[in-house]
Amino acid sequence: MSSAATNMANRKHVANVLMQSETLMKLQIDRMPLANIVWDTEFRVRSWNPAARRIFGFTDDEAIGKLPYEIIVPRSAQQDVEEVWRRLLTGDASAHSVNENITKDGRTITCRWINTPLKTEEGEVAGVLSMAEDITESIRVEEELRRSEHRYRSLVESARDAIITITPKGIFTSLNRAFETLTGWDREEWIGKTFSDLFHPDDARAVLQFFRQALEGMTPPVQEYRLRTKSGEYLLGELTITPQREDGRIVGVLGIARDATARKSLEYQLIQAQKMESLGTLAGGIAHDFNNILGIILGQASILERCGENREMMADSVDSMTKAVQRGASLVRQILTFARKSEVVLAPVNVNTMIRELATMLEETFPKTVEFNLELDASVPVITMDHAQLHQALLNLCVNARDAINDLAPQTSAHGLLTIRTEVIPGSLLKGHADATESWYICISVSDSGKGMDETTKGRIFEPFFTTKEPGKGTGWGLAVVYGIIKAHRGFIDVESKINAGTTFRLYLPVIEKCADETETAAVESQSVRGGTETILLVEDEDSLRRLMKSVLEDNGYRALTAKDGIEAIRLYTEHKDEIALVFTDLGLPGIDGATAIQALRKINPQLKAIFASGFLDLKSRSELPDAQAKAFLEKPYSPNEVLRMIRDVLDRPSR
C-alpha cells in the first residue's frame, strides 16, 4: 500500500474515532442531570440537552438559536448577563454564579451556573459551555431549615423553663436564658462542666441514676432535686429528661427544669388547711370519745373507793382505767401526728392497726346511717411510709364516701355501707401501671354504696379545686391530696364507679422492706424490768405525777431526789452532783424548761446522763435536744415499766 493510501486510511480512522468520541460525549451529556447549553460567539444557543429541556421546559426547536434573555434570563438581568458574557469571550476563567431564571410556563426558578469558554486549538474562543442546576427546592428547604432553627432558638430562649442538653458523659453543651434566671449563673459558666455538680451533694447519687435511665433509652418520670444557685442557696427543681437520638443512636440527653419551690409551698399550705378542715369534721367524734374515756376513768375511780379488800374488783377497775388511758393516749397521738407541720417522715406503719383506729374514731363522728365494714387481711405486712399522710389519705376517702352515701340517702331508706379492705397482691398484676416495679404491693380499698360518678366526673376527680359539692361545702382538694400522697410514696390509685351503684378507690402501696411490727413491740413490753440502787433526779412540775414516779423509783431500789422546775433541779444537782447518776426531766417546765436545765447541768458535768419526757414534741425540736443520744426520750403518758426500762438502759450505756 502506497503512503498516500496509508495516510487516507489513517485520516478515515481518526475521523471515525472523533465521530465515535463526539457521539459518546453527546450521549453522556444527554444523560447528565445538569442542563448543558452550548452558546456560540453571538450568545445564541447551539445545543440544548434533555436536562435543559426538563429544567426550563423549552424544546430544542424553541431554544436553538435564541439569546438567553429571549428564553430563560429575565430582561432585568440582561445587562449583568452580557457583562459576564464579555468576560468569557476574552478567555477568562470559568464564571460561577447563582441566578434567577424563567421557565417556559412563566415560573421563576433559581439555578447555579458554571460557565466555561470553549477554545479552538489556536486558543480562540469559539463559544461557551454552561452547566446549570435547579437549586430552587434546595434553597427553599435551606430557608425553611433556617426559619425552623430560628423558631426553635426563639422558643428555647423565650421558654420560662430551663432547657439544657447534656452529652452521654454528663457535660453541659447548651443552656437557655431561663437557666440564668432560674439559678443566677451565667450559662457560659456551666458550658463544658459536669451537670451533676449543679445539684445538692445529697441528691447527686439519685440524679446520676436518673441520668443513666435516659442514656438507657428510658424517659423517667418527673423528679424533684435541689439545684444550687449562684448565691449558694438551693431551690427545689422539677426535672424532666429524655434521650436524644440520631440514626437510632443515643447521642445525649435533653432536660427541662423549673422552680417548684413556690408550688410545693402552696401545696404544703393547702394540705395543712385540708388537715384542719378534716379535724373540724372529726371534732365532735373526738370530743365524744374523750368524754367516754373520762367517764370510764371517773366511774372506775369511784368503784376503787368502794372495793375495799376485794382484790378481784380492784384489779378489774385498774385494768379498765389503764385501757382507757391507753385509748386516750392513742387518740392524742393520732391527732398530733395528723395535724403536725413537718416534713415527710418515713417510719414503720401497721396499716391494719391504723385502719381500725381510724374506723373507731369515725364511727363516733359519722351519721349512724353509715355502717363500717372492715375486711383486713392479717397477712398484710408493716410498710414504710409517712404515718400522718396515710392517715390523711384514708380520712379524705372516708369523708368522700360518707358524703356520697348521704347524697343517695333521700332516694333510699337503707343504711349506707362503707367498706375498707386490705390485701397483698403481686406487682405483676398491676399491668396498667408501668412504674409498678416492686414485687409486692398492699392494696387498700375504700368502697361505698353511695351515688357514684359518671365517666366525665371520674376523669376529673383528682384535679385540684374540682368538686361536685355545693359552693361552700368542699374545697376540691380532698382527692387531689390523696393522689399526691400516694404518688409521693411510689404508689398508684385505681377508681371504679357507677351511677347509684357506689365507688371504690384502690390504693396500691409498695412493700419495700420488712419492718418491726407491733408484735415485736409487745414482746419488748413484756420483758421484765430491772431496778437499781443509783440516785435519780426526777424533775416534774405535775405534783401527783412527781409523787407517783418517786414511789415507783423507790419501790424498785433507786434513791429519788425530786424537783418541780428547772431552777430547783439545777440547785439539787449542784448539791448532789457526786451522787446523781441520771436526770429524768419533763421538757415543759415553768421558768427554765427541761432542755435548758440539762444544758446548764452539762456545763457542770459533760458526762451527765439524761432522759427527756413530753406530752408532745415535734421532730425538729427533738433533734435539737442537748442529748446526742436522741433515743433517750419518752412520750407521755408513759407506763412505770417504760420509765424503769429506759432508766436502766441509759444507766447501763458506757459514758461518752
Under 8 Å between Cβ of 304 and 314? yes
Band (pLDDT 50/70/90 cuts) for residue 86 is: confident
**What's the pLDDT tens digit per position in 494-526?**
899 888 888 999 999 998 754 444 444 444 444
Residues 324 and 351 in one domain: no
Under 8 Å between Cβ of 449 and 403? no
- Give CA separation, 387 vs 349, 351, 481, 513, 638, in Å: 6, 9, 15, 16, 21
Cβ neighbors of 604 (< 8 A, separation 6 or more) are: 573, 574, 577
Residues 520 and 436 in one domain: yes
Q: Domain containing 35 — which CATH number?
A: 3.30.450.20
Hey, which of 151-160, 470-479, 598-607 has the most confident mean pLDDT?
Answer: 598-607
Instruction: DSSP letter for 187, please.
Output: G
Under 8 Å between Cβ of 183 and 230? yes
Residues 411 and 519 in one domain: yes
Under 8 Å between Cβ of 227 and 198? yes
Helix count (H) and strand count (E) of the chain? Answer: 20, 22
- Give CA separation, 569 vs 540, 613, 643, in Å: 10, 15, 19
Band (pLDDT 50/70/90 cuts) for residue 421 is: very high
Average pLDDT of the residues in 396-407? 85
Q: How far apart are CA 459 and CA 479, in angstroms?
A: 12
Residues 433 and 348 in one domain: yes
Residues 241 and 163 in one domain: yes
pLDDT at 559: 94
**What's the pLDDT tens digit per position in 307-353?**
767 777 777 777 777 777 766 766 665 565 555 544 556 778 899 99
Residues 596 and 497 in one domain: no
The amino acid at residue 95 is A
Domain boundary among 139, 173, 206: 139
Q: Domain containing 586 — which CATH number?
A: 3.40.50.2300
Cell 383486713 maps to which residue?
A: 376
Average pLDDT of the residues in 266-280? 64
Q: Domain containing 368 — which CATH number?
A: 3.30.565.10
**What's the pLDDT tens digit per position in 537-583?**
999 988 877 888 888 899 899 999 999 999 999 999 999 999 999 99
Which range of residues forms the domain containing residue 405? 342-526
Cβ neighbors of 90 (< 8 A, separation 6 or more) are: 125
- Give CA separation, 421 vs 10, 153, 214, 433, in Å: 109, 54, 38, 21
189 inside domain: yes
Strand (E) or helix (H) holding 253: strand 249-259
Under 8 Å between Cβ of 128 and 117? yes
Band (pLDDT 50/70/90 cuts) for residue 22 is: very low
Radius of gyration (C-alpha) of the chain in whole angstroms: 44
Q: Which long-range contacts (CB under 8 A, 24 or more apart) does 472-478 make?
A: 475/270, 475/273, 475/274, 475/277, 477/270, 477/271, 477/273, 477/274, 478/274, 478/396, 478/399, 478/400
Under 8 Å between Cβ of 210 and 241? yes
Residues 26 and 173 in one domain: no
CA 1 to chain centre: 101
Residues 351 and 482 in one domain: yes
Residues 434 and 488 in one domain: yes
The grid cell for 650 is 441509759
70 inside domain: yes
pLDDT at 335: 60
Is residue 231's pLDDT more than 70? Answer: yes
248: left (phi over 0), alpha (psi -120 to 50) or beta: left
442 inside domain: yes
Residues 366 and 271 in one domain: no
Band (pLDDT 50/70/90 cuts) for residue 283 is: low
CA dihedral 71, 72, 75, 78 (to 10 degrees): -110
Domain boundary among 205, 232, 259: 259
Task: Please state the domain count of the chain.
Answer: 5
Residues 213 and 227 in one domain: yes
- DSSP states of 49-76: -HHHHHHH---HHHHTT--HHHHTS-GG
The values of phi and psi at residue 408, to 5°, are -90, -15
153 inside domain: no
Q: How far apart are CA 646 and CA 633, in angstroms?
A: 9
Determine the Cα angle at 483 with ends 481 and 489, to 5°: 105
Residues 418 and 469 in one domain: yes
Which stretch of 88-92, 132-136, 339-343, 538-542 has the lowest confidence by average pLDDT? 339-343
10 inside domain: no
The amino acid at residue 340 is R
Q: How far apart are CA 330 and CA 353, in angstroms?
A: 11
Domain boundary among 259, 290, 311: 259
Q: How far apart are CA 480 and CA 487, in angstroms?
A: 11
Strands 610-614, 633-635: pairing is: parallel
The amino acid at residue 450 is G
CB atoms within 10 A of CB 206: 13
* Position with higher pLDDT, 310 vs 472: 310
The values of phi and psi at residue 309, to 5°, are -95, 5
9 inside domain: no
Instruction: DSSP letter for 79, please.
Output: H
150 inside domain: no
- Give CA separation, 630 vs 137, 620, 633, in Å: 76, 12, 7
Is residue 285's pLDDT more than 70? Answer: no
146 inside domain: no
* Position with higher pLDDT, 70 vs 319: 70
Average pLDDT of the residues in 426-437? 77
Is residue 128's pLDDT more than 50? Answer: yes
